[in-house]
Amino acid sequence: MANPLPTFSVPSLGSATRRTPIDLTAKDNYTPDNEQIVWNPDRSAILGTIKRGEELRGFELAGPRAKLFFDPSETRAAIVTCGGLCPGINAVIRSLVLQLWHRYGCTDVIGIRFGYHGLGRVPPEAAMHLTPEIVSQIHMQGGTILGSSRGTPVVNEIVDSLAAAKINVLFTIGGDGTMRGALAIAEEVQRRGLKISVVGVPKTIDNDIPFVRRSFGFETAVSKACEAIHAAHVEAEGVENGIGLVRLMGRDAGYIAANATLATGQVNFCLVPEIDFEIEGKGGLIDLIAQRLSRRKHAVIVAAEGAGQKFFQTGTGEVLRDASGNPKLGDIGVFLKERMQTLLKQRFAHGVHVKYIDPSYIIRASAADPADQLFCARLAQNAVHAAMAGKTALLVGYWHGRMTHVPLAALGNNRQRINPDGELWFNVLETTGQPTKM
């Protein structure tokens, strides 16, 4: 059977012949291009691959190269931030600038205002010259000093703008839509025969980009989500038949909801997009909540925003989409609140008290916590190493504890999602006590 994995070969602009200004104590400390971490490091998988005579598939390791493609003193770098806000964007911007300036001596760094839409204008609209002084404290702020936007303008216009502004390196900070745009930009750059490196730093608060075990902002999001769950638990315990309902981010993947559920230990029902559930009927959500209230007089429910979207289907088959191409979601939080108030009122003489909390925008606008600050710095530093070596059409990933290069072409339209039969969801079921099927 053919190997279903995509190729993990990373494109390059050409031979790297310039000596790096980064002076490491030993030659072996530079990362060679042929060093990889295998896609599946399980012993049985490795032995099976060898036994079948197949090549071990893996990701190129990130890190400083001994030779560069670009001359740092003649290189102009640009940074663009796209999509929704996420903790840590400013920390990534800061680390990119500091790495370019202080480690490589590349002092011509500009920030593109308002995402791809700003980049699509010639010249790039209101580009900011970024210096270490300008970015020195921005990592303590939420949001992005560059502004953002959703959607990608005509790629030809973006490449026209890059060429007109004499940009050699473009760093794109964003989610799956941003990375699809980055790939299209890199392909158009290649078609024109230009020497522009395009390197992505994955930003997805939902942690759902494939081949990337962890994205920046996720740790902060889980921490802030835990605060909302604690508040919901306090509110639920404060009244008879109290229900604390928390709606969290997670369009297609429920990682924030699942991890916050495990971290707090206070959630009785966790609803995620990957697991189907019913509202009514024996063994449905309402029935299970009623049983919980009869026993304990309170309940806490966490719902990822993409959970239960079947309840909003109209039957026409038409799917409304936002500027990034994502399907517009029905509000599962408000829906559940109204259904619980209506259906549970019939079961309890004194009614129920639903306290609804949606901390989404508070979380998105937060500054990164220390763990994410460290992770943002590592991602940015390795993005600069890759770009200066002339690598392109890639994002900096994280796989089994190592920073990697993931070719953008390998992403496709895939999303990383919770495995209903995997360890994470099993842990959620053990922690909440909810049944496997609702």
Catalytic positions, please?
206
User: Which three-class secondary structure state does DSSP give residue 252?
Assistant: coil
DSSP per residue, 103-171: IH---EEEE-TTHHHHHTSSSPTTPEEP-HHHHTTGGGSSS-TT----S---HHHHHHHHHHTT-SEEE
Helix (H) or strand (E) holding 368: none
Give the Cβ contact number of residue 361 at 10 Å. Answer: 11
- Cα end-to-end distance, the chain, whole Å: 37
CA 393 to chain centre: 18
Tokens 């941003």: give the residue. Answer: 178
Give the Cβ contact number of residue 356 at 10 Å. Answer: 19
Phi-psi region of 102 (alpha: psi -120 to 50; beta: other; left: phi over 0): alpha
Phi-psi region of 208 (alpha: psi -120 to 50; beta: other; left: phi over 0): alpha
Q: How far apart are CA 244 and CA 352, in angstroms?
A: 11
- Who contacts 269 (Cβ-Cβ below 8 Å, separation ≥6)? 285, 288, 289, 299, 300, 301, 302, 432, 434, 438
Name the β-bridge partners of 403: 398
- The DSSP 8-state label assigned to residue 13 in this structure reads S
Length of the chain: 438
Instruction: Dump strand ranges (E) for 28-95.
Output: 36-38, 58-61, 67-68, 76-81
User: Are the CB atoms for 62 and 347 separated by under 8 Å?
Assistant: no
